[in-house]
Amino acid sequence: MSDVITLGAHIGDVHAWPVEAIPAGQQLGIIEKIKLSVAGTAAGTAVDLAKLGVSVSTVGKVGDDSIGQFVTASMAARGIDVSGLTVSPHSQTSSSVLPIRPDGSRPALHVIGANADLTEDDIPWDLVAQAKVLHMGGVFILPGLDGKPMARVLERVKSLGVTVTMDFLMSPRDDAQEMLAPSLPFVDYVMPNIEEAGWLVGSEDRAEIIQWLHDRGAGCSVLTMGGDGVSIAEKGREEILETAFDVDVVDTTGCGDAFSSGFIAGLLAGESLGEAATLGLACGSLVATGLGSDAGIVDRAQVEAFRHEHPRHS
């Protein structure tokens, strides 16, 4: 029995750092590090939750390949219940190649792979019914769930009394609003980054983004804003802003998943929304200081020390 279920995207990431340019033709470029890590808005969040001492089960699809074996074994080694992680007979494990720029930003080359095969039929409802939180991670790259199927799933989750959090993995697309809107009435906390939220709504105005999400049923918007911190707005209440921590950024991969893990851990501990968001910011900031989604965070004690002692932007 786990307190949190992470449902959705499971990805094997290959990180290359630092990459200033892709060599022309078949030329060789020498860099400092290449790393393989568990990633994705379900898998990455699960790994960070486990590091924070939260009991977590993960639900998703991997392929029958070495990357899927790596993802599954790595998560199990962290104490994560992987009984809901099933093997697709048709597709490779979802994977990304990430050339990390010196400033920590990165483009992504991505194969959706087995994430596309995840459907309503793969959800272990006995596990979900015993959880306190279900984190829906990877909206827009889960074609077997996106749209009406996801809305049906989240409606059933809410009927079981389980809190629903949600994060995206998206690029601009014309059908984004139509795809997401049916699910929002069943989401307690929707947690995209501000860029993704802007693509969704078609506006860079934060107040307009918040209103759009609230008007379509989301209980609380939680918008991560990189170096500008985070915006938390419960429906019908004033927006709360929490400032970011001051860190030297190596790689931004997985920072959103780390934020989600800290925020969820804070909610489970009974913290206020501002406190939970600050714990999320601490987790995201620590991940940004290393290479890969699994970098930075050691355990809850380390994160708490960072949260209370590390300087924040003024």
pLDDT in tens, 198-235: 999 999 999 999 999 999 999 999 999 999 999 999 99
- pLDDT number for residue 294: 83
- pLDDT number for residue 292: 78
At residue 163, φ and ψ (nearest 5 deg) are -70, 140
- pLDDT number for residue 153: 98
- pLDDT number for residue 105: 86
pLDDT in tens, 91-137: 999 999 999 999 888 888 999 999 999 999 999 999 999 999 999 99
- Is residue 178 in a domain? yes
Instruction: Please check the confidence at residue 254 and state whether its pLDDT lies above 90.
Output: no
- Is residue 24 in a domain? no
- pLDDT number for residue 48: 97
- pLDDT number for residue 293: 80
CB 65 within 8 A of CB 92: yes
pLDDT band at 313 (very low <50, low <70, confident <90, very high): confident
Instruction: Please check the confidence at residue 283 and state whether its pLDDT lies above 80.
Output: yes
Domain ranges, residue 40: 4-19+33-309
Q: Give the global pTM.
A: 0.95
- Give the whole-number percent of the chain exceeding pLDDT 70: 100
- Is residue 27 in a domain? no
pLDDT in tens, 172-185: 999 999 999 999 99
Q: In what order do the strands lie in the sheet with 133-139?
A: 81-88, 56-63, 4-8, 133-139, 163-168, 189-190, 220-224, 230-234, 240-242
- Give the whole-number percent of the chain exceeding pLDDT 90: 91
Alpha-carbon gap, residue 29 to 11, rounded angstroms: 25
> How many domains does one find in the chain?
1
- Is residue 25 in a domain? no
- pLDDT number for residue 244: 94
pLDDT band at 84 (very low <50, low <70, confident <90, very high): very high
- Is residue 156 in a domain? yes
- Is residue 294 in a domain? yes
CATH number (domain holding residue 66): 3.40.1190.20
- pLDDT number for residue 282: 97
- Is residue 304 in a domain? yes
- Is residue 267 in a domain? yes
Q: CA nearest 313: which of 248, 252, 247, 244?
A: 244
